[in-house]
Amino acid sequence: MHDSTSQMTRSTPAQFLPGVGPSRALRLEKLGLRTAGDLLFCFPRNYEFPAPPERIDRIREGQPVSLVGTIVDAELVSRSPGKSVFGAVVQNDTGAVRILFFNQPFRAEQLTFDRQVMISGEPKLNGLRFEFVHPKVTFLDEEDEIESPKILPIYPLTDGVKQNEMRRIISAVVEQLAPDLTEVLPVELRDRATELVRDVGIDLRQPLPDIETAMKHIHWPPDKDQLRAARSRLAFQELLVMQLAMAIRRRRLTTNLQSSSMPSDPLLDARITNRFPFELTGDQVAAIKEISRDMARQFPMNRLLQGDVGSGKTVVAIYAMMLAVGHGNQAVLMAPTEVLARQHYQTLSRILDCSRVRVGLLCGSLGAAEKREVLRHTASGEIDLLVGTQALLHGLEFKSLGLCVIDEQHKFGVGQRVRLRGGGIDPHYLVMSATPIPRSVAMTIFGDTDLTTIKEKPPGRGVVKTYLGRDEWRRRWWEFVRGQLKEGRQAFVVAPRVSASQDTTASSDEASEDVSSVETIFDQLRDDVFAGYNVGLLHGRLSAEEKTQIMQQFSEGEIDVLVSTTVIEVGIDVPNATVMTIMGAERFGLAQLHQLRGRVSRGNHTGHVCVFTDGNQSPEENERLKVFESTNDGFELAEADFKMRGPGEIFSSKQSGMPSMMIADVIEDLDLLQAARTMAQEMVDEDPELESESLADLKKQLMRRYERQLDLSDVA
């Protein structure tokens, strides 16, 4: 049982806090604020910064200021029922100003003759005197020491709870509970953190404060410098705890797991690279060196290989797989779709033609007898390189698995990748992504993974021109596409859904037009726009055999125009396809649009991509599509996409398995994140399991937040 006089704790229900009660507690619950602890950590979403104090004889029109003075004249004028004007003159030894309030007759009782006040607002010149309309007023007693106006917190609100009520409630909670908070960063850690925060360029005028001061100043900052220090302290602590979890996991991978050592040497390197019918780029060579160095160790490589579309990541992965086979181990490559798996299988078979390396394929469309045969040969070690889809996850045994490669890692769930790793010796692990990852994501979701980036594209790749197509341009655009077909090129047409019935959110008018349905678009283009050309249809509802057959026909030039959903998004390599039309482009994300665009930059011809939108909005009105048109750089697009979407989608617990941030923002706090990562690594290098008595409370906080994630984060 609680009452308003009992000792407040973080678990005290909100209704028993001063000034709350049952009714207001129900309203606070809509904001997720159920206890005193919830209110303590309900940080302001913004602040109201008062205007600086100024002399009356120095103020300028339109420039916000604060003034302190005495009421020397006041008058209330009623013009009609319910309409009034209250005016008063505020004077000090630097001059006088007039203040006005409309339809607030109660001001006559507040702003009385000889009352001392502080007013804040934006002055306007009326004749020879400045006026303030509805200024903010602070009442001062004669004995009050006149202070600078205070910075006021702005909290999230709900119906029935006003800002001044939230301030009063939270202020009482902070006053009671802030002194009892556990300090998890001893003074020596705070001093080191202050150094690192300043080193990354954050303008910190004073050291990071202790937890009690930080909590008080984040809610009621005395000034901007102390607000910056308080927020930096709290955000740094949150990021440090996360980075410690990552650093501990990284270290455990290197000490608790054992893998086969597979070093490269000049002879083996020459045997592998001679298999490639082209010269490797500088970035590919650098990536191979990093991966070879990892695979030479006796603990598992855990590396993410990222690169823009067409940068040649697959070649690097093939080198790593052949390095494993060269040491008598097996390697496995898992792709997100059967079409891509078969393409990888064909590439490997072609490169390894006339060699003793045996390549196997395992995917859903194989017959039962074929699958059993592949499983048997894999378990016996007769298959050296195995390529497949999720079918790899079920009942699969290797004789000596040395390397796992995952293509397009974001297509698979964490649990799937863990199952692929399980069993036998610990293999080296390489994940690939053609969706470039912002730095902040790389340091969080992939914080315990080594990162290799390929930016340089192989020579001879054609440039791609991107256009935002208005509705009235469609006829001219189709004429341009036909011109490309006459020159012997091929074309993609991409739509976001198979049929209108897929989109349950579409209105009846949208459904009747069905402009983004591949089935409708296919019929229109085959019978009208591209009559006389061979038009193919590809989507996810087709069987694996049908999809494989259609892609084979398109690859061999038997199909001129392929109308498809996003099943062609990843890895499809048809150098002769140089034109792409994307319908309903507003339904795609930036990364997906860029992946699609990558399908028409595979050869040495110039590529052309035109995007059209459904409905009334033109592409020029869509911020995401304007960014897509303006750059072909996947890394720039990734950063822009991250900023537009915010961290919520990317760092949700559903997507990353990570708890959400309370105050830190991985976009805005990238520098703090870097400082926290540096300090976390230093701490783990010195004390691998944080066993020092001074770190006991910090370790408890880490385990509360991340113990569950530690078992999976190495394959994040």
Supply the pLDDT for residue 142.
Answer: 52
DSSP letter at 35 equals B
* 712 lies in some domain: no
Are 545 and 566 members of one domain? yes
Supply the pLDDT for residue 147.
Answer: 55
- What pLDDT band is residue 149 in, cutting at 50, 70 and 90? low
Q: Where are the beta strands (DSSP E) in 419-560?
A: 428-433, 450-454, 464-468, 490-494, 535-538
Three-state SS sequence of 150-177: CCEEECCCCCCCCHHHHHHHHHHHHHHH
> Which of the residue ranges 189-198, 477-486, 548-557, 649-658 would you say has the lowest mean pLDDT?
649-658
How many CB atoms lie under 10 A from the CB of residue 204? 17
HSE (side-chain half, CA atoms, 13 Å) at 371: 14
Q: Are 606 and 632 in contact (CB under 8 A)?
A: no
Strand partners, 494: 564, 582
Extract the tokens encoding 82.
């319910």
pLDDT at 507 over 50: no
Are 12 and 64 members of one domain? no
* 385 lies in some domain: yes
> Which of the residue ranges 185-194, 601-610, 654-663 would you say has the lowest mean pLDDT?
654-663
Are 272 and 416 members of one domain? yes
How many CB atoms lie under 10 A from the CB of residue 308? 25
pLDDT at 118 over 60: yes
562: left (phi over 0), alpha (psi -120 to 50) or beta: beta
**Percent of the chain whose pLDDT exceeds 70:** 85
Q: Compute the average pLDDT of residues 101-126.
A: 90
- What pLDDT band is residue 574 in, cutting at 50, 70 and 90? confident
CATH number of the structural domain spanning residue 129: 2.40.50.140
Which residue has better confidence, 386 or 515?
386
* 546 lies in some domain: yes
Supply the pLDDT for residue 586.
Answer: 86
Rounded Cα distance between 84 and 90, Å, is: 20
- What pLDDT band is residue 409 in, cutting at 50, 70 and 90? low
Which residue has better confidence, 140 or 93?
93
Alpha-carbon dihedral 302, 287, 405, 496, rounded to 10 degrees: 110
Which H or E element spans position 607? strand 607-611
Supply the pLDDT for residue 448.
Answer: 65
> Which of the residue ranges 267-271, 386-390, 413-417, 451-455 would you say has the lowest mean pLDDT?
413-417
Q: Compute the average pLDDT of residues 320-342.
A: 90
**Mean confidence (pLDDT) of the chain:** 84
Alpha-carbon dihedral 268, 406, 378, 276, rounded to 10 degrees: -30
pLDDT at 312 over 90: no
pTM: predicted TM-score of the whole model, two decimal places: 0.66
Supply the pLDDT for residue 39.
Answer: 96
pLDDT at 506 over 70: no
Q: Which of 369-383, 461-475, 556-570 has the highest mean pLDDT?
A: 369-383
Q: Which residues contact 630 (CB under 8 A, 6 or more apart)?
A: none
**Percent of the chain whose pLDDT exceeds 90:** 43
Supply the pLDDT for residue 135.
Answer: 92
Supply the pLDDT for residue 123.
Answer: 93
Supply the pLDDT for residue 412.
Answer: 45
Write the pLDDT tens digit of every residue in 601-642: 677 788 999 999 886 666 666 788 888 888 887 777 777 777
Q: Compute the average pLDDT of residues 520-549.
A: 87
Are 278 and 423 members of one domain? yes
Closest CA to 76 of 97, 101, 94: 101
Supply the pLDDT for residue 141.
Answer: 63
Tell me how many degrees the CA angle 563-565-569 measures, rounded to the nearest 5: 105
Strand partners, 86: 76, 101
> Which of the residue ranges 423-427, 546-550, 661-665 would you say has the lowest mean pLDDT?
423-427
Are 428 and 553 members of one domain? no
Rounded Cα distance between 100 and 86, Å, is: 6
* 213 lies in some domain: no
Which residue has better confidence, 390 or 293?
293
* 685 lies in some domain: no
pLDDT at 314 over 80: yes
Supply the pLDDT for residue 230.
Answer: 97
Rounded Cα distance between 27 and 509, Å, is: 40
Rounded Cα distance between 206 and 333, Å, is: 52
What φ, ψ does residue 668 adopt, rounded to 5°? Answer: -75, -25
DSSP-derived 3-state class of residue 434: coil
Q: How far is CA 346 from CA 351, 361, 373, in A?
A: 9, 10, 19
Rounded Cα distance between 364 and 336, Å, is: 12
pLDDT at 36 over 60: yes
Are 3 and 103 members of one domain? no
Are 514 and 610 members of one domain? yes
Are 540 and 409 members of one domain? no
Q: Compute the average pLDDT of residues 297-301.
A: 86
Which residue has better confidence, 572 or 517?
517
Rounded Cα distance between 262 and 547, Å, is: 38
Are 42 and 87 members of one domain? no
* 671 lies in some domain: no
Extract the tokens encoding 74.
């006041």
Supply the pLDDT for residue 415.
Answer: 44
Extract the tokens encoding 423.
């069993």
Long-range residue pairs from 617-622, CB within 8 A, at least 24 positions apart, any chain: 617/586, 618/468, 618/470, 618/471, 619/468, 619/469, 619/470, 619/585, 619/586, 620/468, 620/470, 622/585, 622/586
Supply the pLDDT for residue 626.
Answer: 87
Supply the pLDDT for residue 484.
Answer: 93
Q: Which domain-ending residue is among 631, 663, 690?
A: 631
Write the pLDDT tens digit of every residue in 199-244: 988 999 999 999 999 999 999 999 999 999 999 999 999 999 999 9
Which H or E element spans position 121? strand 116-121
Are 345 and 473 members of one domain? no
Supply the pLDDT for residue 512.
Answer: 35
CATH number of the structural domain spanning residue 518: 3.40.50.300
Domains held by the chain: number: 4
* 140 lies in some domain: yes
Supply the pLDDT for residue 173.
Answer: 96
Q: Compute the average pLDDT of residues 330-342.
A: 86
Rounded Cα distance between 346 and 354, Å, is: 14
Beta strand 83-92 with 65-80: parallel, antiparallel or unpaired? antiparallel
Rounded Cα distance between 663 and 238, Å, is: 8
Are 425 and 499 members of one domain? no
Which residue has better confidence, 511 or 559?
559
| Domain extent for 174 | 1-49+170-178
Are 502 and 412 members of one domain? no
> Which of the residue ranges 328-332, 445-449, 454-458, 608-612 would you say has the lowest mean pLDDT?
445-449
DSSP letter at 270 equals H
Query: Position 329: which residue type?
Result: N
Rounded Cα distance between 714 and 302, Å, is: 7
